Amino acid sequence: MYAIVHFKGYQFKVEKDAVIAVPYLADLKAGDKVSMDEVLLLREDGNIKFGTPHVEGAVVTAEVIEHKRDKKIIVFKKIRRQGFKKKNGHRQNFTEIKIQDIKS
């Protein structure tokens, strides 16, 4: 059984007991529950349900595992022949969640 959910502006393919990285959820702590009700597609026992736009009554519940920071991304700007160089770095925050249950 799997589902495709729309959460925080992104679409995720989720299965039971899967761990996924989602955009940072600042208001939640480790151990808190998250409910995702925007289920776009649901597949169970070979039957596929498509939502128009969402599957009626389908809910995916998950638990927050921890908050992390992604790898550093280097931003480098240069203007040739001018001696201009600028280097910045950026690390994005994200939250790991574990899918607990998929209800149809």
Q: What is the mean pLDDT of residues 82-102?
A: 97
In sign, the C-alpha dihedral spanning 43, 48, 53, 59 is negative
Query: How many domains are contained in the chain?
Result: 1
- Identify the pLDDT of residue 104: 84
Give tens-digit pLDDT for 5-47.
999 999 999 999 999 999 999 999 999 999 999 999 999 998 9
Q: Percentage of the chain with pLDDT > 90? A: 92
The pTM for the full model equals 0.82
Q: Please give the mean pLDDT across all residues of the chain.
A: 95
Q: Which domain holds residue 16?
A: 2-103
Cβ distance 11 to 5 under 8 Å?
A: yes
Q: What is the mean pLDDT of residues 72-84?
A: 98
